[in-house]
Structure 1
Amino acid sequence: MKARYVIGCTIITLLSVVGLANYYFETAPTTTKTDVAKVASGTTLKVTNNSMFQKKSPEETPAPVNIRNSVAPKNTISTNGQPGTDLVTVTRATHQDDRIYRSTITPVVKNIITSPVNGQLDGQSRRYGEHLKKGDKIVGIVSEEARNQLLSDTANYISSRDSFTLSASEVKKNIELEKKGIISKRELQQSESAYVRAMIEMVRSRIRLKTTAQRLDFDWQGVEKIHNNRSLIDKKSASSTEDVVEYLLNRDYVVNIHAESDGILLPKYTGQGNVEFFDFSLGSEVRERAPIGMIADQNQISVRFIVSEFEVLSLSIGQPVELTIPVMDNHKLSGKITDINRFDFRSRGGQAQGIPVTAQLECGEIRCDRLFSISADVKALSEETNPIQVPLSAVTEENGQFFVQQIVDNKPIKRPVTTGETTKNMIIIKNGLTEGDQIVRDYPATED
């Protein structure tokens, strides 16, 4: 009795399964060929007809939901027989960059001024903060050292010039003697070689004299007048030569230092907060190579700020920056990045490691020297304020070139583009697309 009951239940179950199978078979989509072939155990399904992917009507398909940070509503189009490809209409978006760096305004240094000699200051000196023109005298240094150097260079030049004159006369004489057969050709060549050596030595000594004379504002060509004043050098001694130079100079031996360019005279600033002041008092001692000051640009200022290794990737030389000065009612100045020191990556004052970036800005209507040492906020600006921006998934990279699929005549066309900055979901397109173009939202992994 129990066995009959089990057999009956089994038969009923089998009939139910067969009935359900017939129902699903009758309601399933029809195909023109056999679409599914049953193979060995563990087989996979092989699609042989794309007609099984059917696009639903708008009434059947709910409207797509915009993803975060999308630039346009999602559209769909049938491409390559595959319906439902999402499209994006290319638009421009306002680029926001809230990174602000605190910095201190510093001068733009044009050149550093140092003393070329040891000595003492004379009574005519400039002061820090003065505006100079190119060629203006900054300081004068009375230097016994410079005097001795000038005397030595002058004596050497006079001696070498006399040797050159003598050798030139010797060559002229030997040319005539060689023609008459009194001396050999070899002797003539030796005198010609001596003439060349004397000329080279004279030129060298003249260059040294000109260099020394320039520092002393001394007209070195006055030495040429010695031949017209032979009475001044009756004695062939160093002291008589010194008397000649004394006669030509007839003044103190002062090394004058002049401004090499227009600008503001300031104490030397190292850029690390160290300032070296020079004593402009009359008679104060000056050491050779001692810093006297620097000439700063009177139209531009500089700021230096530290960025992280990630932030520096979005910065470039020539990129515009905006400076805001809080203590001057948030007055703004504009400029550009002039230096990114990628080789100076280190910790500063216990802070995280960073890379120093320098920018220069125009002072505008404000005098630059009024801005020195004032704190300010620096903001790096994007090259475009409203760049074209598309989803990151719409762009692919092949061999260093980036591409999108642009819809042209209802068909996707592979289009090369130039990219810019990226965010989590979006990427800037610098070239290759224009506002209003349509592209495929998700670039296909493979192409037909």
Structure 2
Amino acid sequence: MMMAAGTRVAGKWLFWSVLGVLTILVLIHVLRPEPVWVDLATAQRGPMEVTIVEEGKTRVKDRYVVSSPVAGYLHRVTLDVGDPVMPGELLAEVDPMPANMLDTRSRAEAEARVESARSALNAARQRTQAARADAELAAAEHERMATLERSGYVSRELLQQAQATAARSRAILKSARFDEEVASHELAAARTRLEVSAARSEGQGPAEYLAVRSPVNGSVLSILRKSEGVVQAGDAILELGDPSALEVVVDVLSFDAVNLEPGIATRLSGWGGTTLDAVIRRVEPVGFEDISALGVEEQRVRVIADMITPRDRWEMLGDGYRVDAAFILWQSADVLQIPASAIFQHNDQPTVFLVTEDRAVLQTVVTGQSNGLVTVVNGGLTEGDQVVRHPDRELSHNDRIRVR
């Protein structure tokens, strides 16, 4: 009887003990917080670059507006846009109106204009000689750098800088030659006006027509006056330029322009062909106000870049074409990186939630360059570590997580 009573008492204690343990387990399961749903990202190594990307357009470097040298009757222009022209080629014909005889003062002014044009031509010739010397020096320096680079004495970057300098020097020389040609034709125009007036004063009749000729080697960019009719002296007729000498004009936000300087490498894309290489030649020191597509007033700065890719790769690119310009501020071929959205400030230090055994653990990291999408990690993580991509306010240190 006593053994049976003891067995019943032990059975009751065992029943109530098991029931209490089960109750505690149920309460723990019910009361413990649910795992937080998160997205994960993996720290991995790879190439990265920091760029400023803006939309730009191509532009012929040297443009020349050909105008009527005298008042008269313009014959119809037979050229079309894109037609090539050579120096001295006939562009248009103008029947001059009878020239008035010059008085003493007007003749002196005309002679002074001839002398001024002659001085401008001499100055242009001197600039051409200086540009030619600079181009020869830059070409020699490029050859020397190429030899040293093949021997391993200089870096590839120095060779590219020498190549860009040589390209700029050639472009400056070509521009100086154009200026010399223009100055030569301006002198001829001044002489013509003086000679025609002199012939008029001597009783000679005017020429049948006055030929308007091309001052440069290039192509017709636009026709400002196609139809025949009366024109005044100085009225624009044609616009000429060399389509093989293009530059890229990009309007950059002033906030970004302070990070740009001449010599920064630029990548051009979005024009319908292969990616092209360019280099910044000038960042204009004056900004201007522009209205964005959303109606927001913006301060922008004009940046000019020269293409260094060979002409045969962009021969279909013309004046006024749209391009996407990416200015490369920093780049590396192999760095550890994670999404920029995974990093936040905790105790004034960059921190991430590192995933350890299905839990999110606060981890301080050392960050480097960032392009807004990904950020370089210089310390605190290793390749293959997983972090929470978009941590929210509900996530705390050592919380359980569940991957979406």
- Same fold, TM-score > 0.5, yes or no: no
More strand by share: 2
Question: What is the TM-score with the length of structure 2 in the denominator?
Answer: 0.44
Question: What is the TM-score with the length of structure 1 in the denominator?
Answer: 0.40
Q: Who wins on radius of gyration, i.e. which is larger?
A: 1
